[in-house]
Each structure stands twice: as C-alpha cells, then as structure tokens.
C-alpha cells in the first residue's frame, strides 16, 4: 500500500501543473456519413468513444466494413478479395475490428482486422462460410458462427493459439465477455426453437430459457464479467421483446415504447450490466432507439436527446461503450434523407467519474488508488485495458473537479 501511495504522490506532483478541468456536461450527436454511397450502419464502439465500426455503401454500391475516427473519418477496411464486407465488433482500444467479408470466390469468411496486419481470414469449421460477431476487450478472442463439414451452423470461439473452437449444436454466437471467457448467442433446442445461451469452458452451453408466453430467444450481448445477458424473446420467429438475464433474477422483460404490437430488441449492454440499448416500436409503430435502466425503465433516446436531434432521429441503438456514455447505431438523417450511422455522446459519466455521481473528485481518486494494480475489467479500469494502473489515475487527475 505504501508503494501505491508513493506512486500516487509522484503522479500527482507530475500532473499538478497540467490538470485540466473539463468545461462541463458534454452531449453531442455525430452523423458518421458514408463511403461515397447512400447508407451506413454502426455496430461497435471503443471504450472511449473515439472509434466506431460498422458498414457503409461506397460509390460503386458495394458494402464495406468501416472504422471511423473523428480525426480520420470513415476508413474502408477492404475485403478478402470479394466485393463486400461488414464490421460487427471492436476491441476496447479500437485497434482490433471483427466481422465478415467475401473472398475472391465470393465465400463469406470471418475476419479480424488490425492496422498492422490488415484483414485476416479466420477460416471455418470445415464448411464454406463463417461470420465474426463479437470480440473481447483486448481483441484476442473472437466469436461468431461458422459452418462445419456437414454445413451446420455452429457458434465458434477463436484465438490465435487455438484457432476456431466449435461450441456445439446448431448455434450462433453474438457476444463475448471482456476477458473472452463467457460467450452468448442462440442455439436450437430439441424442439427446433432458438434459445438464448451462455457458454463457459467449465459449464458448456447453458439454456437461458425465454419469457413467459414466448417460445424462443436469442442473446446479443453480455456484460464485462459475463453475469448479465441481453437479447430478445420471440414467438414463432417474430422478434418481440427485449430481455435482461441474470443468474439470480432469470429473464426480465424490458417492455416496449408503447406500441400495441409488443416489439423491442436489446442489442447492447454496459460493462456493469446496468444500461441496456436497442430498438423498439413506439405508440405509432415507428422504430426508435432506446436506453433502459432499472431506475428509469425504457426511454426513447429521441425524447431524451431531442435538443440534439435537429436534423434526424435515431431508429436503432446497436452498441454501448463499457461505461455507458457512448451509444452507436443507425438513424435517419433528414439532411441526406438516408439511414446513416450515428455516434451519441450522452455526456454521462464524465471522464474520470468512477463512482458515477457526476463529480470527479477525491472519492474517484481513492477508488482508483485502492484498486491500483488489480486486474480484471471494472469501473476503476477507466481505459478498459484489464489493469487498474497509472493510465487510470491520470484519467481522474486530468479531469479532476469536473462537474463539482
């Protein structure tokens, strides 16, 4: 503890002259544009909101995986030799992107992209096709669905050392915990209906059931520690109701935005499992992006952030940053009259606000200090690199006093 306090004092002394109090509550909506075509869709966001991934149409009418940054705009990640590609997930630091692309024979293959290595073909399970849908916080574990030699779709978990692991039965994987140990998705049960599952190496594939009155379900995302799962329950193939699952509480119905036809789907969840995002129909059957919390229930993001939406509306929220501040998805941009990817900065929590009380102060410094050196993804790990260290202390110091 003495060593940790000495480290803290040294950091404080080094930073005292450069402490910057942020100017206040920052909220913004950014339309990400396209690659020269008409449409774009966002499906992943880095921990600090600086990198967004998805796919967009280019001038030739082809769909291309993109990686967007504020400074560089929308970057076309290319293909594996074919015409089209799609990005679905990004690592916490924004350096690793996963998805699927066509090869020269127009076969669909899962990929893992980095700036240094470009687009890597992850192969299949012996069949023709594969698709990557999720990636761990450090970019080392990729999950998705691939065909085996019998042309059956199988959920997979890929690592550089182990290659593509078949998780069993007719299934597909869409989400993975921060450390890559928990995988979620959907699988066919004995009756041929889809059921949300939670997989671990020790326990295998666990059927999470469905909501009362529904006969199917599928999981889309999972919290950092793998304890909270979100997705959708359905009736005979109609995707109907967003859910949030925990081992203690089972599957919770998150409701809708007031539509007579009960439709909602949960696509993303914050690292601590407290904030869920997705899409739902409202009272007039329009598709709208939502955010759900235990205290506030399901809110229409278009209502909450109406002051920002002077030139469009948000149809669907597909992903949320670990701290719950940044939300991405697709909306309708009235300026271009097209569906386009968006990045919503909700302004909360403030950078460095570990305890989420709106003020970056001594309490936040102490939380990081007492957790210093610890491993595992948690709120004190502000940059979500798996370790509470100097970088996290500096994040608090540089934002000290914000909101207070």
Same domain, 280 and 393: no
- Say if CB 352 and CB 399 are below 8 A apart: yes
Residues 6+ apart with CB under 8 A from 105: 81, 82
Give the range of the structural domain holding residue 297, as residue numbers without chain letter: 29-360
Same domain, 354 and 316: yes
Same domain, 374 and 331: no
Q: CA 107, CA 128: separation in Å to the nearest integer?
A: 7
Q: Which of 343, 360, 377 is the last residue of a domain?
A: 360
Show the CA angle centred on residue 127, arms to residues 126 and 130, nearest 5°.
105
Tell me the DSSP string of 306-331. Answer: TTT-TTEEEEEEEEE-TTS-EEEEEE
Same domain, 134 and 182: yes
Same domain, 141 and 283: yes
The CATH number of whichever domain residue 185 belongs to comes to 2.120.10.30
| 226-260 per-position pLDDT tens digit | 999 999 999 875 668 999 999 999 999 999 998 66
Q: In which order are the strands placed within the sheet that holds 97-103?
A: 81-90, 97-103, 108-114, 118-121
| 94-129 per-position pLDDT tens digit | 999 999 999 999 999 999 999 999 999 999 999 999
| 194-231 per-position pLDDT tens digit | 999 999 999 999 999 999 989 999 999 999 999 999 99
* Mean pLDDT in residue range 71-95: 97
- Say if CB 216 and CB 204 are below 8 A apart: no
Q: CA 318, CA 88: separation in Å to the nearest integer?
A: 10
Give the CA dihedral 219, 33, 74, 50, nearest 10 degrees: -60
Q: What is the percentage of the chain residues whose pLDDT exceeds 70?
A: 92
Same domain, 366 and 349: no
Same domain, 312 and 394: no
Among 272, 248, 245, smallest CA distance to 184 is for 245
Tally of domains within the chain: 2
Among 224, 199, 220, smallest CA distance to 268 is for 220
Same domain, 68 and 78: yes
Same domain, 320 and 378: no
* H/E element, 3: helix 2-15
Show the CA angle centred on residue 223, arms to residues 217 and 227, nearest 5°.
75
Q: CA 184, CA 257: separation in Å to the nearest integer?
A: 26
Same domain, 298 and 399: no
* Mean pLDDT in residue range 26-48: 96
Task: Output the six-digit token pair for 305.
Answer: 């952030």
Does the pLDDT value for residue 22 go beyond 50? no
Same domain, 78 and 205: yes
- CA-based diameter of the chain, in Å? 66
What local confidence, expressed as pLDDT, does residue 305 receive? 97
Computed over every residue of the chain, the mean pLDDT equals 92
Residues 6+ apart with CB under 8 A from 153: 145, 146, 147, 170, 171, 172
Phi, psi at residue 213, to the nearest 5°? 90, -5
**β-bridge mates for residue 86, sequence order:** 100
What local confidence, expressed as pLDDT, does residue 17 receive? 33
For the chain, helix, strand, coil in percent to 5 are: 10, 50, 40
Residue 5 pLDDT class (50, 70, 90 cuts): very low
Q: CA 292, CA 368: separation in Å to the nearest integer?
A: 27
Same domain, 279 and 372: no
- Say if CB 62 and CB 36 are below 8 A apart: no
Does the pLDDT value for residue 180 go beyond 80? yes
Q: How many angstroms separate the Cα of 273 from the Cα of each of 33, 64, 71, 270, 283?
A: 30, 31, 31, 5, 27
């Amino acid at each position: 503890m003495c060593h940790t306090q000495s480290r803290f004092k040294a950091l404080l002394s080094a930073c005292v002259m450069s402490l910057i109090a942020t100017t206040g509550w920052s909220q913004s909506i950014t339309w990400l544009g396209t690659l020269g075509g008409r449409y774009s869709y966002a499906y992943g966001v880095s921990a600090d909101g600086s990198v967004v991934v998805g796919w967009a149409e280019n001038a030739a009418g082809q769909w291309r995986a993109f990686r967007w940054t504020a400074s560089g705009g929308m970057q076309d990640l290319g293909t594996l030799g074919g015409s089209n590609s799609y990005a679905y997930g990004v690592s916490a630091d924004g350096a690793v992107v996963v998805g699927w692309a066509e090869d020269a024979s127009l076969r669909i293959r899962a990929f893992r992209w980095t700036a240094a290595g470009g687009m890597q073909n992850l192969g299949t399970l012996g069949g023709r096709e594969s698709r990557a849908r999720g990636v761990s916080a450090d970019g080392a574990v990729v999950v998705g669905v691939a065909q085996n030699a019998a042309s059956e779709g199988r959920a997979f978990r890929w690592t550089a050392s182990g290659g593509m692991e078949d998780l069993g039965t007719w299934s597909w994987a869409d989400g993975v915990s921060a450390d890559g140990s928990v995988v979620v998705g959907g699988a066919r049960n004995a009756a041929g209906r889809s059921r949300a599952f939670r997989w671990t190496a020790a326990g295998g594939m666990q059927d999470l059931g469905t909501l009362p009155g529904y006969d199917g379900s599928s999981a889309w995302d999972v919290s950092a520690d793998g304890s909270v799962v979100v997705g959708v329950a359905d009736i005979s193939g109609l995707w109907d109701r967003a859910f949030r699952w925990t081992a203690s509480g089972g599957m919770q119905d998150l409701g809708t935005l007031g539509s007579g036809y009960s439709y909602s789907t949960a696509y993303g969840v914050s690292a601590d499992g407290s904030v869920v995002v997705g899409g739902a129909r409202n009272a007039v059957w329009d598709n709208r992006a939502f955010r759900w919390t235990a205290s506030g229930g399901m809110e229409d993001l278009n209502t909450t952030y109406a002051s920002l939406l002077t030139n469009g509306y948000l149809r669907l929220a597909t992903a949320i940053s670990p701290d719950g501040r940044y939300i991405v998805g697709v909306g309708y941009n009235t300026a271009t009259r097209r569906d386009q990817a968006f990045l919503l900065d909700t302004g909360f929590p403030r950078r460095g606000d570990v305890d989420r009380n709106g003020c970056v102060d001594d309490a936040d410094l102490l939380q990081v200090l007492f957790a210093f050196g610890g491993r595992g993804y948690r709120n004190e790990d502000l940059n979500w690199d798996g370790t509470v260290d100097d970088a996290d202390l500096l994040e608090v110091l540089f934002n000290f006093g914000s909101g207070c």
